[in-house]
């Protein structure tokens, strides 16, 4: 049973997040917090996911995220923010957020994001910035042979456990590789990685 902490100082938005969590993980235990201090106290109990608003009464910007990541590095954090700027999304992920949920997201998107992060994936909205074909080629070329095979597996629609079987490694190893693949490609989730893969012929 998942334990999920929601940290947001707006009761209505906490209710929206609670609704999304209930759909993503129906049996989850949910604890609501209205401040960073309350969230930090809540994390003293083993937690499977923290949904953290970037703007709380006692914290604003990335300071709260940085503090939580330093104190609880193994707890996945999905940032919740009214800002959807690409630079804000990238900075949150660079600081260790496992996901980024815009407050403008519809309920199905919130459910998708929470489900992905609970499964060990990263999730963030697509940003309007696109790279040229040469840049894309360079990013794909930076992948190791194993990472390229994993990307080909994603493109084929195979699950982590299926790719792990194909490569003769553990599922945990595949998840670790995926983190590097996403970083090298400049994407935040499987869907975006597959879209990039489909733009190029990855067969060698």
Length of the chain: 204
Q: The tokens of 72 are what?
A: 């609880």
Quote the CA–CA distance of 34 and 110 in Å, as a whole number: 19
Predicted pLDDT at 137: 66
* Helix H or strand E segment including 30: strand 29-33
Give the end-to-end CA distance of the chain in Å, rounded to a whole number.
43
pLDDT of amino acid 192: 86
Please indicate, yes or no, whether the overall pTM of this predicted structure exceeds 0.85: no
DSSP secondary structure code for residue 80 in this structure: E
pLDDT (tens, 9 = 90+) of the chain, 204 residues, equals 899 999 999 999 999 999 999 999 999 999 999 999 999 999 999 999 999 999 898 887 788 888 898 889 899 999 999 988 887 888 888 788 999 999 999 999 999 999 999 999 989 987 655 445 556 667 777 888 788 889 889 988 899 999 999 999 999 999 989 988 998 888 888 888 888 777 664 433
The reported pLDDT for the residue numbered 200 is: 61
Q: What is the pLDDT of residue 159?
A: 93
Phi, psi of 8 (to 5 degrees): -155, 140
Q: What gap in Å lies between CA 23 and CA 20, rounded to an integer?
A: 5
Sorted by sequence, the CB contacts under 8 Å of residue 188 that are 6+ apart come out as 89, 93, 100, 122, 123, 124, 182
* All domains of the chain in start order, with CATH: 3-118 (3.40.50.2300), 133-198 (1.10.10.10)
pLDDT at 130: 42
> Kind of pairing, strands 99-102 and 77-81?
parallel
Alpha-carbon distance of 45 to 87, in angstroms, equals 32
Q: What is the pLDDT of residue 79?
A: 95
């Amino acid at each position: 049973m998942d334990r999920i902490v929601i940290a947001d100082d707006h009761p209505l938005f906490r209710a929206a997040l609670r609704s999304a969590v209930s759909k993503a993980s129906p049996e989850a235990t949910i604890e609501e917090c209205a401040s960073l201090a309350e969230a930090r106290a809540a994390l003293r109990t083993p937690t499977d996911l923290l949904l953290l608003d970037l703007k709380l009464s006692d914290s604003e910007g990335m300071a709260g995220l940085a503090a939580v990541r330093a104190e609880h590095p193994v707890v996945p954090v999905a940032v919740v923010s009214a800002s959807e700027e690409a630079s804000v999304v990238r900075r949150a992920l660079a600081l260790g957020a496992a996901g980024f949920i815009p407050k403008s997201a519809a309920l199905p998107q919130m459910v998708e994001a929470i489900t992905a992060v609970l499964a060990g994936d990263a999730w963030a909205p697509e940003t309007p910035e696109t790279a040229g074909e040469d840049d894309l080629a360079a990013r794909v070329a930076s992948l190791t042979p194993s990472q390229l095979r994993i990307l080909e597996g994603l493109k084929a629609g195979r699950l982590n456990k299926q790719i792990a079987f194909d490569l003769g490694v553990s599922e945990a190893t595949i998840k670790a590789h995926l983190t590097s693949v996403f970083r090298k490609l400049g994407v935040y989730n499987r869907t975006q990685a597959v879209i990039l893969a489909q733009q190029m012929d990855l067969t060698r």
